[in-house]
């Protein structure tokens, strides 16, 4: 019995230690979350406006002289995948990668992973990677987004791939985050899903001309989209981690309660046994 008690005691200790860690991680995530949420909230109107404006332009566009506005030249896709740097965030990374798998099934594609988890995943699966220089999502700020976007545009122009899509996690609320897809380039991809009715073509005046306007706008648009998606993803990651850690702490608490009960029971049993032994012994005398 004594051995059993000791084992239970040790187990309680170890669960308590784990609980301390998960609680600390929860606190860290929630304090970081506040800052990240502010950044995402600031960026969201820009992100949405940008996408909406380009969507309107894409639907209305009748001028296909720019490579960015033309029908894709190649069937190859390039996915910009924004995942997290670290695990222990519930299903955050795996949900995102699963969503990508579903979308990319049967397609020929390259990826530009942002975030260590994405890099590791694609390396393991031996998917061709465009660049690994942006492995840490925490270090991606506006400047890096512009670098990424100019790289993507250069490769796009050279015809290495014909489509660019973003895979990121959308922050719906503190409790729910959803992996999402955005078609970024070419602009003809933007009005997908609305092909059921012939759209009303608005004529737009481009100055000086559409090729030059698109050449100037598209890299900025892509950078803006990537930055927005990075903001959304990082806030989602923190929210997911906070939730996962909260659940882990709760579970640990529950486990400790159960173990305590077991411990007390074992203690009680050993006392009873000792008494029985003493009584039996005194009777024998």
Phi, psi of 114, deg, nearest 5:
-120, 125
- The tokens describing 205, both together, are 């005046």
Asked if 34 interacts with another protein (CB under 8 A), we say no
Q: What is the full DSSP assignment across 133-155?
A: TT--GGG--HHHHHHHHHHHHHH
Of these, 8, 12, 19, 57, which contacts another protein (CB under 8 A)? 57
Asked if 50 interacts with another protein (CB under 8 A), we say yes
Widest Cα–Cα separation across the chain: 113
Of these, 220, 251, 267, 270, which contacts another protein (CB under 8 A)? 220
- The tokens describing 246, both together, are 């909260």
CB atoms closer than 10 angstroms to residue 153: 21
Closest CA to 153 of 97, 204, 225: 225
Q: Which is nearer to another protein, 198 or 207 (CB)?
A: 207
Of these, 75, 212, 250, 257, which contacts another protein (CB under 8 A)? 212
Q: What character string, x for contact with another protein (CB under 8 A) and - otherwise, covers 138-167?
A: ----x-------------------------
Asked if 67 interacts with another protein (CB under 8 A), we say no
Of these, 204, 269, 275, 278, which contacts another protein (CB under 8 A)? 204
What's the rounded Cα separation, in Å, for the pair 107 and 239?
32
What's the rounded Cα separation, in Å, for the pair 12 and 269?
19
Give residues in contact with another protein (CB under 8 A).
Answer: 42-43, 45-46, 49-50, 53, 56-57, 60, 142, 202-208, 212-213, 216-217, 220-221, 223-224, 227-228
């Amino acid at each position: 019995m004594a051995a059993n008690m000791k084992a239970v005691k040790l187990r309680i200790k170890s669960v308590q230690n784990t609980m301390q860690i998960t609680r600390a991680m929860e606190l860290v995530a929630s304090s970081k979350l506040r800052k990240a949420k502010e950044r995402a909230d600031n960026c969201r109107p820009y992100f949405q406006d940008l996408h909406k404006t380009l969507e309107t332009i894409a639907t209305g566009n009748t001028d296909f002289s720019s490579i960015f506005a033309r029908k894709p030249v190649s069937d190859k896709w390039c996915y910009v995948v924004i995942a997290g740097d670290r695990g222990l965030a519930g299903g955050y990374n795996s949900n995102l990668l699963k969503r990508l798998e579903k979308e990319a099934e049967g397609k020929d594609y390259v990826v530009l992973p942002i975030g260590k988890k994405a890099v590791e995943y694609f390396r393991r699966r031996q998917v061709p990677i465009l660049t690994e220089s942006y492995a840490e999502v925490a270090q991606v700020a506006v400047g890096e987004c512009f670098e990424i976007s100019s790289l993507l545009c250069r490769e796009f122009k050279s015809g290495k791939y014909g489509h660019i899509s973003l895979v990121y996690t959308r922050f719906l609320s503190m409790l729910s985050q959803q992996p999402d897809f955005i078609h970024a380039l070419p602009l003809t991809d933007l009005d997908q899903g609305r092909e059921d009715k012939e759209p009303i073509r608005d004529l737009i005046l481009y100055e000086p001309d559409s090729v030059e306007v698109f050449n100037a706008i598209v890299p900025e648009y892509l950078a803006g989209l990537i930055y927005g998606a990075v903001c959304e993803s990082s806030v989602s990651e923190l929210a997911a981690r906070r939730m996962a850690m909260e659940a882990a702490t709760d579970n640990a608490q529950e486990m400790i309660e159960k173990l305590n009960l077991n411990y007390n029971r074992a203690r009680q049993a050993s006392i009873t046994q000792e008494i029985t032994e003493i009584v039996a012994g005194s009777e024998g005398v």
